[in-house]
Amino acid sequence: MLDPTPPTFGIEAISVTKRFGGFTALDQVSLRVRPGSFHALLGENGAGKSTLVKCIMGYYRADAGEIILGDQQQVIDSPRTAHELGLGMVYQHFTLVPSMTVAENFVLGKTRLPAVLNWREELARLEAFFAAMPFRVPLDVPASGLAAGEKQKAEITKQLYLGRRFLILDEPTSVLTPNEADEMLGLLKRMTRDGRLTVLMITHKLREVMAFADEVSVLRRGRHVGGGRVGEIGPRECAELMLGNAEIRRLTDRGGVPGAPMLEIAGLSADDDRGHPACRGIDVTVRAGEIVGIAGVSGNGQRELVEALDGQRPPSGGTIRVHGKLYHARRDEMHDARFYCLPEEPLRNACVASMSVAENLVMRDFDRPPFAFGGWWLRPSSFRAAAARLVERYRVKTSSLDAPIGTLSGGNVQRCVLARELGGEVAVLVVANPCFGLDMAAVAEIHAQLMEARNRGAAILLVSEDLDELLELSDRIFVMFNGRLVHEAAAATTDRVAIGRHMAGH
């Protein structure tokens, strides 16, 4: 367990400026996090939140300004130095080593490792640590086999296991259910109250800020634009500070009634990475002009289901039909059926980080007219123009079309992938947690786009851990538990409580 002896400490960033080439990501930002406090950092996608905390962690070197730790100015030149000073960070993108087990990830995260590891002792220590936690994560499976929610819990508990005294969290609850998030944040809050920990948390969820944070700071376009003590400052003021005078898009009305069956999934089963059955006997039909939601706590087989539909995982049984025809998720079938899919963790699963924004935006169709002719002569000018239109329509913030997509902020990567998958004329769309990491203006935009695609006749299967999102968008909702669909309800006549009960297996 965490050693209570060394006290926690506060951090002050003074007039920090960070540029990437000619672009100023942070412009003289000052921020004070008091020792033992829970501080929330808010801001729209691309505001500079991740950049600021990466400067604190020594992942980036600020161009100007200073960082004071406790009462001393510190030069934090690398994450390793930060770790030695007691700082830990959970990044927006997962950082567990996929091929190592969760236990190995925890133990090998230590700054100082002994020459010879006594695994039995380490495992006993891990067991003792988890015995005192309100939840656990599987320790003996490769990190790659965890669902997004489990990974997120593992990332956070790993930092606690490593005994950090100042914890920075970049959107720590984006794929946790409200209950899981409350459990996790409640634990961290108690640790700050006990003076064992100071928390700086980046989030887009105002509900969490109001429920757990003591203080809040807001960034907009690389500047600190306001903040204060929670209670003295409310959700409305926070939203105004975040958005400036940008408008929030209203959800398009649900129009028309669902038509003919478009996506028919019958008896579909798929195994997880360890070869165990992950989803079993899934029967769902999605009609044209219908959004069918699948609710569930992450790790109940949703990921394997989406991967089976996307052709990334061979089904172990059952059939998929699109427009009545058998479908095997091959690339040519996807194209012909106008079948689009947005998996979770898009930077890893749906992009090439080192390729440009433009290349990533047209990746689906780069070898087809109008982008190519005669089979393989590519027409860069035509795909640049198409990419430019998507960037504008989906308001992707990027310095240029040629920037590697990996340099975009997390929310802007998500927008790019959505632009690519929603930009074409969609007949069938499978989406998993489409609003992961998006700010509220972007969430409103994506929700409106999904509803418009539905109203134009698309059949949409929406797999999400966000109940509010499911209730808002779906026509029908299923609950997935332990690999099976255990409950079906019309969205108009069900509520959070009913769905939540089935999510927990009751």
Ligand X SMILES: Nc1ncnc2c1ncn2[C@@H]1O[C@H](COP(=O)(O)OP(=O)(O)OP(=O)(O)O)[C@@H](O)[C@H]1O
Catalog residues that contact ligand X under the rule CB under 6 A: 20, 25, 43, 45-51, 92, 397, 407-412, 437, 439
Establish how many alpha carbons lie within 13 A of residue 310's alpha carbon, considering only the half-sphere containing its beta carbon. Answer: 21
Q: Which residues within the stretch 247-286 sit at the binding site for Mg ion (CB under 5 A)? A: none
Residue 462 CB: number of other CB atoms within 10 A? 25
19 bridge partner residues: 24
User: From the list ligand X, Mg ion, none, which binds 20 (C-beta under 5 to 8 Å, kind-based)?
Assistant: ligand X
Q: Which is nearer to Mg ion, 48 or 423 (CB)?
A: 48
Q: Are residues 237 and 227 in contact, defined by beta-carbon separation less than 8 angstroms?
A: no
Nearest distance from residue 174's CB to ligand X, in Å? 10
Residue 192 partner contact from Mg ion, ligand X, none using kind-dependent CB cut-offs of 5 to 8 Å = none
Q: How far is the CB of 232 from ligand X (least distance, A)?
A: 24
Q: Which is nearer to ligand X, 176 or 443 (CB)?
A: 443
Cite the DSSP H helix spans in 231-356.
Answer: 235-243, 302-309, 331-337, 346-349
Q: Rule CB under 5 A: is residue 50 a binding residue for Mg ion?
A: yes
Options 50-58, 111-119, 150-158, 346-354: segment touching Mg ion (CB under 5 A): 50-58
Structure tokens at 456: 């134009």
Beta-strand ranges (E) seen in 70-207 are 72-73, 87-90, 166-170, 198-202
Cβ–Cβ < 8 Å for 295, 464: yes
CB of 187 to Mg ion, least distance (A): 23
Between strands 339-342 and 428-432, the pairing is parallel
The separation between the first and the last C-alpha atoms of the chain, rounded to the nearest angstrom, is: 33
Q: Closest separation between CB of residue 27 and ligand X, Å?
A: 11
Stretch that binds Mg ion, among 46-54, 67-75, 265-273, 425-433 (CB under 5 A): 46-54
Q: Which is nearer to Mg ion, 50 or 300 (CB)?
A: 50
Is 217 among the residues that bind Mg ion (CB under 5 A)? no
Q: Is 215 helix (H, G, I), strand (E, B) or coil?
A: strand
Residue nearest to Mg ion (CB): 50
Among residues 48 and 145, whose Cβ is nearest to ligand X? 48
| Residue 165, binding choice from ligand X, Mg ion, none, Cβ under 5 to 8 Å by partner class | none
Q: Which is nearer to ligand X, 91 or 481 (CB)?
A: 91
- E strand spans, 149-203: 166-170, 198-202
Decide the pairing of beta strands 317-322 and 261-271: antiparallel
Q: How far is the CB of 116 from ligand X (least distance, A)?
A: 38
Q: Which stretch binds Mg ion (CB under 5 A): 216-224, 357-365, 401-409, 496-504?
A: 401-409
Minimum CB separation from Mg ion for residue 462, in Å?
Answer: 24
- Between residues 60 and 478, which has the closer beta carbon with respect to ligand X? 60
Say if CB 417 and CB 363 are below 8 A apart: no
Q: What separation in angstroms does the CA of 346 have from each of 173, 184, 207, 350, 503?
A: 17, 24, 25, 5, 25
Give the nearest distance from C-beta 22 to ligand X in angstroms: 10
Q: Report which residue type is found at 18.
A: K
Q: Is the Cβ of residue 307 or residue 439 nearer to Mg ion in the bound state? A: 439
**Cis geometry, peptide bond prior to residue 138 (ω within 30 degrees of 0):** no
Task: Pick between residue 18 and residue 323 the one whose CB is nearest to ligand X.
Answer: 18
The token pair that represents 295 in the structure block: 């609710």
Q: Which amino acid is at 188?
A: L
User: Closest separation between CB of residue 351 and Mg ion, Å?
Assistant: 16
Which of 86, 149, 289, 410 is the binder for Mg ion (CB under 5 A)?
A: 410
Residue 145 found at the interface with Mg ion (CB under 5 A): no
Whole-angstrom CA distances from 128 to 123, 133, 136, 401 are 9, 9, 11, 50
Q: Which residue is nearest to ligand X (CB)?
A: 411
Q: What residue ranges bind Mg ion (CB under 5 A)?
A: 50, 92, 409-410
